[in-house]
Chains A and B, each alone.
Chain A
Amino acid sequence: MDAPHSMGTTIIGMEYAEGVILGADSRTTTGLYVANRASDKITQLTDNVYVCRSGSAADSQVVSDYVRYFLNQHTIQIGKAASVKTAATLVRELSYQNKSFLETGLIVAGWDIHEGGSVYGVPLGGTMLRLPFATGGSGCSYLYGFLDQAWQPNMSREDAEKLVVKAIALAIARDGASGGVVRTINVNAYGVERNFYAGDQLPLFYDELAPRPTLMQF
């Protein structure tokens, strides 16, 4: 119960035609115990920028809180919305300068008026890399090949969302530290939209059992 909470996780950030989709599973573990089976790993930094968190739950929360604070002040100072690049740079700066204390991999994604949708991966150690799609967490190993083949530039909103959900479902199937529900956030010029996919809405793959209503009598 007191062991550090870790988010063995699968997180994804992906560019599509009009913006970005962020997706994550919802399992938070302390050792083998699932401390929270419905966590929300996608956190807001500004109106137009969100971050997917993985690794140590505490570290990723604190980094997000600091960056939200800096961005809030920055937005007021410059008088307009912060860019995704600025948000990612702040996340990177904290990750890099405190690399010996932190253990968190983050994906910063959002929409701004000059670049449109952008996704930045900021893994352990504090690298910052802009990518068309980024994955993170313990489940990401299972997705590299899949996404290399499946991602196309300029997808529609529906296709991108389906791809993100399918990818996380695949990772959940193979990674014990990922599970629960799939949450997605879509950010584009028109705003932000959250979605939630419970277990029975996720696609099933080889050898998986379909969820069934319980046989217990109450």
Chain B
Amino acid sequence: MSTIGTGYDLSVTTFSPDGRVFQIEYATKAVDNSGTVVGVRCKDGVVLGVEKLISSKMLLEGSNRRIHAINRHAGMALAGLAADGRQIVTRARTEAANYLSFYGEDVPIKELSNRVAHYSHLCTLYWWLRPFGSSSIIGGYDIDGPQLYTIDPSGVAYRYYGAAIGKGRQAAKTEIEKLRLAQMTCREGVMAVAKIIYGVHDESKDKSFELEMSWVCDESKREHQRIPSDLLMEAKAMARDAQEDDLDAF
């Protein structure tokens, strides 16, 4: 499974003859092996969902959160190495706070994403640092409306209507493309994301998982918050039923 870098993969400051930086690609593998993270931008907001794989039955439910608030109006969902992700969250929070302090207004989501990308990229330039083994999906709502961005270990930020990272991203992306996001409200988006995450979870390969979801939308008054618990339960139940229906189809 491993690509043979043949000596060009020992340092992040070395290019390979075909123009690749292998260390960054290896960092991306850390992300690809982690639980799926999905984000969709609906007409009135953004919904984020995480397939949080539970490594031990002893873990308290709700611990090891994968979705973090950056400021009132933006949240970040992480995939990859948890500790690396924590660092990125801290940096994003600092950037948002500094922007508010210096310019007197909430940071535009685009600017926030660019700054996080800039920071991730910084760590790919020096031999004494390693790239972050973590990608993030930023969902936010600013004066220009709801926006969704992903940032990967190489330090690029892309803006999306719908995005998925982690193990089940290929299957998740296929499902997201089927959705009519521009016509969906966030309530409908929550159901769709829950269904997608339950759908891509591989029962045979992985242990159980916990679904973690958040949104920032008109209904939440443009504030980033965890999905209200009743809506989350409804989404989980609906997603579980949908999986059983699919099984029954045999």
A86: chain B residues at CB < 8 Å are 103-105
A93: chain B residues at CB < 8 Å are 102
Determine if A162 is an interface residue (Cβ-Cβ < 8 Å): no
Contact across chains for A85 and B105 when beta carbons are under 8 A apart: yes
A174: chain B residues at CB < 8 Å are none
Contact across chains for B103 and A90 when beta carbons are under 8 A apart: yes
Q: Which of A83-128 contact B (CB under 8 A)?
A: 83, 85-86, 88-90, 92-93, 114, 128
Determine if A74 is an interface residue (Cβ-Cβ < 8 Å): yes
B105: chain A residues at CB < 8 Å are 83, 85-86, 89
> How many interface residues does B have (CB within 8 Å)?
9
Determine if A79 is an interface residue (Cβ-Cβ < 8 Å): yes
Contact across chains for A89 and B110 when beta carbons are under 8 A apart: no
CA of A128 to CA of B114 in the docked complex: distance in angstroms?
Answer: 29
Contact across chains for A78 and B104 when beta carbons are under 8 A apart: no
Determine if A77 is an interface residue (Cβ-Cβ < 8 Å): yes
Q: Which residue of A lies closest to B143 (CB)?
A: A114
Q: Which of A66-89 contact B (CB under 8 A)?
A: 74, 77-79, 83, 85-86, 88-89
Contact across chains for B104 and A88 when beta carbons are under 8 A apart: yes
Contact across chains for A78 and B102 when beta carbons are under 8 A apart: no
A85: chain B residues at CB < 8 Å are 104-105
Determine if B202 is an interface residue (Cβ-Cβ < 8 Å): no
Q: Main SS of the interface on chain A?
A: helix
With A86-B103, A89-B103, A93-B102 in contact, is A78–B108 under 8 Å at CB?
yes
| Contact-residue bracket for chain A | 10 to 19
CA of A216 to CA of B103 in the docked complex: distance in angstroms?
Answer: 57
Contact with B along A144-184 (1 / 0, CB 8 A): 00000000000000000000000000000000000000000
Q: Which residue of A lies closest to B103 (CB)?
A: A86
CA of A79 to CA of B105 in the docked complex: distance in angstroms?
Answer: 15
Contact with A along B111-141 (1 / 0, CB 8 A): 1001000000000000000000000000000
Q: Which of A33-88 contact B (CB under 8 A)?
A: 74, 77-79, 83, 85-86, 88
CA of A79 to CA of B111 in the docked complex: distance in angstroms?
Answer: 9
Q: Which of A192-215 contact B (CB under 8 A)?
A: none
CA of A79 to CA of B110 in the docked complex: distance in angstroms?
Answer: 9
Contact across chains for B104 and A74 when beta carbons are under 8 A apart: no
Contact across chains for B111 and A89 when beta carbons are under 8 A apart: no
Contact across chains for A78 and B143 when beta carbons are under 8 A apart: no
CA of A89 to CA of B104 in the docked complex: distance in angstroms?
Answer: 6
CA of A78 to CA of B143 in the docked complex: distance in angstroms?
Answer: 13
CA of A92 to CA of B110 in the docked complex: distance in angstroms?
Answer: 25
A114: chain B residues at CB < 8 Å are 143
Contact with A along B142-155 (1 / 0, CB 8 A): 01000000000000
Chain A residues within CB distance 8 Å of chain B: 74, 77-79, 83, 85-86, 88-90, 92-93, 114, 128
The 6 closest A-B pairs by CB, nearest first: A89-B104, A86-B103, A85-B104, A78-B111, A89-B103, A78-B108
20 A-B interface contacts by CB (under 8 A): A77-B111, A77-B114, A78-B110, A78-B111, A79-B110, A85-B104, A85-B105, A86-B104, A86-B105, A88-B104, A89-B102, A89-B104, A89-B105, A90-B102, A90-B103, A90-B104, A92-B104, A93-B102, A114-B143, A128-B104
Q: What 20 new A-B contacts, CB under 8 Å, besides A90-B103, A128-B104?
A: A74-B103, A77-B111, A78-B108, A78-B110, A78-B111, A83-B105, A85-B104, A86-B103, A86-B104, A86-B105, A88-B104, A89-B102, A89-B103, A89-B104, A89-B105, A90-B102, A90-B104, A92-B104, A93-B102, A114-B143
